[in-house]
Amino acid sequence: VRSYPSDPMSKDLWVNIDQMDKDKVKIHGILSNTHRQAARVNLSFDFPFYGHFLREITVATGGFIYTGDVVHRMLTATQYIAPLMANFDPSVSRNSTVIYFDNGTALVVQWDHVHLQDNYNLGSFTFQATLHNTGRIVFAYKEIPIEVSQISSVNHPVKVGLSDAFVVVHKIQQIPNVRRRTIYEYHRVELTKTKITNSTAVEMMPLPTCLQFTSCSACISSQINFNCSWCHRLNRCSSGFDRHRQDWVDNSCPDETKDKMCDIVDTTYLYPFTTTIVAKTTSRGKEATAGKETPSTSHPPTSVPTEGKETKQNWIKATVCRSPELPFKKVPGTHPLHTGLILGILLVMLIMIAGVLITVYIYHHPTSAASLFLIERRPSRWPAMKFRRGSGHPAYAEVEPVGQEKEGFIESEQC
């Protein structure tokens, strides 16, 4: 993130739409004449946002762009690009407009001479957001009559920055044909509001993400600020927290990626009358040698050469099978009833200890997978909202209640 307060660079980042091709400059009538409205805008290019390519966005009168696929009444909560989110109402002035311009490589959205609905006398605001096909985002400010930190957030949230989330769909078994959508915000960028003044600009450059890697080797060897893992079932590289979170979990990718290995080996072999055997295989280039085996078997494990010239070590664990002809020996003096009672007591104690440890872990790690699992199944903790479907010009009639804005969890129900 680079900010240019009252710097000549900020003037270069401001896009003068008046000098652009008038046929490509569009003034949206609904956005210019109503309050708290949003309209879909199709892009002529792929815009990468948190590693996801977008071809459609939603421009809102409230000074922000919504990037989510599911349109609902609480667009201000997450999945936004907000140069200056506030309670703007273009309908209170004839000079207020929301215009946008797409030149094939960038989209410019400008909120031109917009006023705050609850404080018209403060003056008009003029600012814009530019989305480049490289993922670069520019916020430019021409007229900011007051400090952004002084704008009231009673009737509308006031935010400057970025946010993204993933949506998880749950089926309710008790009620057929009813699904519950839960939105989890996994990342947010908040810019300092005091630096947003007249003739300033903010430039944000995208960082590499796991989604850009298309092979297993490049994924697990990546040196970026994310813990990338490769899922063979989806043939995808991910950190587990992006918009494809539900597919990642539904295909058991978190369990598959624990070992962080690219080789898929069938490791099931039968070894009657033996204990567990671990064979270490070492491969260099195309040559591979296997360690010595202690049991006798007609199907010994074989080594698998790895790609490249690096030396890698793969551990192949053999499955232990007990011969059905060898019965378990009964230990003299042990009564089955006493043994069952002791095992039951031990099991209860283990469950109680595990419950305490899980509670402590969740308390200190609120963003862990266990915490998200419990949050998904406690809908009474979060405000409900209804999703709109089939609307060409969706509106967000309500926003988060005062003092009820959550840091990343919004839950909704849909029939």
In a domain, 362, yes or no: no
Clarify whether residues 76 and 149 are in a common domain: yes
- Same domain assignment for residues 62 and 140: yes
| pTM reported for the whole predicted model | 0.64
Determine, yes or no, domain membership for 161.
yes
Flag whether 347 is in a domain: no
> Quick check: 182 pLDDT over 90?
no
- Residues 50 and 123 reside in one and the same domain: yes
Q: Is 346 within the bounds of a domain?
A: no
Q: Give the whole-angstrom CA distance, residue 358 versus residue 271.
A: 37
Q: DSSP state, 315?
A: E
CA distances from 152 to 63, 88, 97, 114, 117 (A): 14, 11, 22, 16, 11
What confidence category does residue 374 fall into, taking pLDDT thresholds of 50, 70 and 90? low
**Whole-number pLDDT of residue 389:** 39
Check: CB of residue 97 under 8 Å from CB of residue 112.
yes
Asked if the structure places residue 179 within a domain, the reply is yes
Average pLDDT of the segment spanning 217-225: 91
Same-domain pairing of 118 and 70: yes
Please, which pLDDT band fits residue 375 given cuts at 50, 70 and 90? low
Contacts of 126 (CB under 8 A, 6+ apart): 110, 111, 112, 113, 114, 141, 142, 143
Question: What percentage of the chain exceeds 90 in pLDDT?
Answer: 43
- Considering 301, 318, 335, which residue would you say is the last residue of a domain? 318
Indicate whether 261 belongs to any domain. no
> How confident is the model at residue 105, as a pLDDT?
94
What are 235's two structure tokens? 């043939």
Q: 345-363, pLDDT tens digit by residue?
A: 999 999 999 888 888 887 7
Same-domain pairing of 236 and 300: no
Whether 158 and 290 map to the same domain: the answer is: no
Asked whether the predicted pLDDT for residue 209 surpasses 60, the reply is yes
Is residue 142 predicted with pLDDT exceeding 50?
A: yes
* pLDDT at 202 (0 to 100): 93
Do 183 and 296 have their domain in common?
Answer: no
Residues 69 and 84 in one domain: yes
pLDDT digits 0-9 by tens, 39-79: 999 999 999 999 999 999 999 999 999 999 888 888 899 99
pLDDT, tens only, 81-131? 999 999 999 999 989 999 999 999 999 999 999 999 988 999 999 999 999
Indicate the helix (H) or strand (E) that contains 81: strand 80-85
Residues 163 and 201 grouped into a single domain: yes
Q: Residue 185 above 60 pLDDT?
A: yes
Q: Point out which residues pair with 98 in neighbouring strands.
A: 111
| Average pLDDT for 211-234 | 91
Residue-level pLDDT at 4: 57
18 and 64 in a single domain? The answer is yes
Q: Which pLDDT score is estimated for 379?
A: 45
Cα 181–Cα 408–Cα 223 angle in degrees, nearest 5? 105
The letter for the amino acid at 139 is F
Q: Is there a domain that residue 369 lies in?
A: no
| 79, 190, 281, 314, 352 from 287: Cα distances, Å | 50, 53, 11, 14, 51
Q: Categorize the per-residue pLDDT at 216 as very low, low, confident or very high, splitting at 50, 70 and 90.
A: very high
Burial class (CB in 10 A: 0-12, 13-18, 19+), 111: buried
Note the pLDDT of residue 31: 84
Q: What is the DSSP string of 177-191?
A: T-EEEEEEEEEEEE-
Same domain, 218 and 172: no
Give yes or no: residues 217 and 126 share one domain: no
The helix (H) or strand (E) run that includes residue 272 is: strand 271-272
Summarize the confidence of residues 297-319 as an average pLDDT.
Answer: 34
Element (H, E) at 338: helix 336-364
Residue 323 lies in a domain: no
DSSP run (H or E) holding 3: strand 2-5
Domain hosting residue 245, numbered range = 211-256
* Distance separating alpha carbons of residues 406 and 395, to the nearest angstrom: 21
Is the pLDDT assigned to residue 314 strictly greater than 90? Answer: no
| Tokens describing residue 90 | 């273009």
Total domains in the fold of the chain: 3
**pLDDT for the residue numbered 307:** 37
CB-CB neighbours of 259 under 10 Å? 11
On average, the pLDDT of the chain sits at: 74
pLDDT at 398 over 60: no
Q: What pLDDT score does 364 carry?
A: 73
Supply the pLDDT for residue 175.
Answer: 75
Tokens 């809102």 sit on residue = 60
